[in-house]
Amino acid sequence: MGTEPKSVLTTIDEVASRCDINEKKGRSLLSEGVIPSIFTGNGVRKRYYTTDEFIEYSKELIVRNSQGDLNEDSSDKEIFLSKYANSSIHSVSSKKAEIITLSNLKGGVGKTTNTINIAIALVKLGQRVLVVDMDAQAQSSRYFKKVSYKGNSILSLFESIMDRDSEPLDKEKILSKIVRIEDTGVTDVTLDILPSEISLTKKLETAKMTMIRPEKMLLDVISHIRDEYDFILIDTPPYPGLSLQLSFYAADKVVLVTEAEEFSIEGLESTIEEIIDIQTHTEKSLEIESIFISAYRKLKHQVLNRDTIIDIAIDKLGGNVSFQIVKDSSTVGIAQNLQLPIIGYKKKPRDVLTLSQPFFNYAQKIILNRNFGE
């Protein structure tokens, strides 16, 4: 499960001491992003917030990607201090993007919040990330900018596929629909989004009547640009239909998002049943690899509901699922109102670091699995 940071480190001296390096090296590792961190201030007033877990993660990546001049008997410290400790360690794979769909058939459980914050954590760790918005409400599309993408969204790409007289899709046309968000609220972090629009659901109903295999459309779009990214995250609608089927059919893995509340758990169960149904009626095989439990408080009923969620995972998924607990906090709501990811809200860095930890934990896990897994 996601855990609280073992120890919050707030100064260069603390980081350097924990790594047994000098202050200059500590500053370099933090500023280059080798050690993930949240920071505030500028110049000499800059203050970094990181944790033991982040340091251990950085060491693991460096160990795995060392260039061979360090032998097997080298200590973690020696490898950590090696000349290969630079930001390039975070982009070591030439594989095509891994596609992850986030879902729950209950609305308001934090799908978009989780999608955006996982994406930002991945980008901060050096990954190339695309968010695909498959919800007609376009919450991911408008997370950073409250603008309409009518006529210039993923729907226009689907319409090209549906129109037999239209020119075939190519990479250039698809890339032209992707919006790059430069101002994410996190320094030196940009994010690509393939936006949605309000008429998406209605137009997709036409595809169900006119196409033999409409569920393949999203995968067809993504296949043209898959080599441009390390991870593609798909934000889904809170209701069944072709949009959801497209999102599952395109995915390599699924992340379920829920709150520890009765109706959210019902939505979770319905989502699992929807996935099982898709696997039954198509050749698609899907792995549900993680469940995010959002807005969690240690209230008696939420503790019981958390255990129910775990029981459901064991019963229906065999228990091969990791859990991340995202705590309830006013900071989350404030960040959303300011159109910022949680890590971009810096007025309470210690609180922000604790809230960001589950997203970084998951990001670290999937980076390591993608780059070094079986």
Which tens digits make up the pLDDT trace of 174-233?
Answer: 999 999 999 999 888 999 999 999 999 999 988 888 887 888 999 999 999 999 999 999
**Hey, CA dihedral for 180, 186, 189, 194, is it positive or negative?**
negative
> Which 3 state secondary structure label does DSSP give 292?
strand
What is the per-residue pLDDT across 319-330, written as a single tens digit (0 to 9) for each?
778 899 999 988
pTM across the whole model: 0.91
- How many Å apart are CA 251 and CA 229, to the nearest integer? 14
Instruction: Give me the numbers of helices (H) and strands (E) for the chain, helices first please.
Output: 14, 11
Residues with Cβ < 8 Å from 273, sequence gap 6 or more?
none
pLDDT in tens, 19-33: 888 888 888 888 888
- CATH no. for 98-372: 3.40.50.300
Q: Cα 28 to the chain's mean position, in Å?
A: 26
pLDDT at 134: 98
Contact 131, 159 (CB under 8 A): no
> pLDDT tens per residue, the chain (374 residues)?
445 566 888 889 999 988 888 888 888 888 888 888 888 877 777 888 898 888 888 888 777 776 556 666 677 777 777 655 566 666 656 789 999 999 999 999 999 999 999 999 999 888 999 999 999 999 999 999 899 999 999 999 999 999 877 888 899 999 999 999 999 998 889 999 999 999 999 999 888 888 878 889 999 999 999 999 999 999 999 999 999 999 999 999 999 999 999 999 999 999 999 998 888 888 888 889 899 999 999 899 999 999 999 999 988 888 778 899 999 988 888 998 899 999 888 777 888 888 998 999 899 889 888 877 65
Nearest to 171 by CA among 232, 222, 246: 222
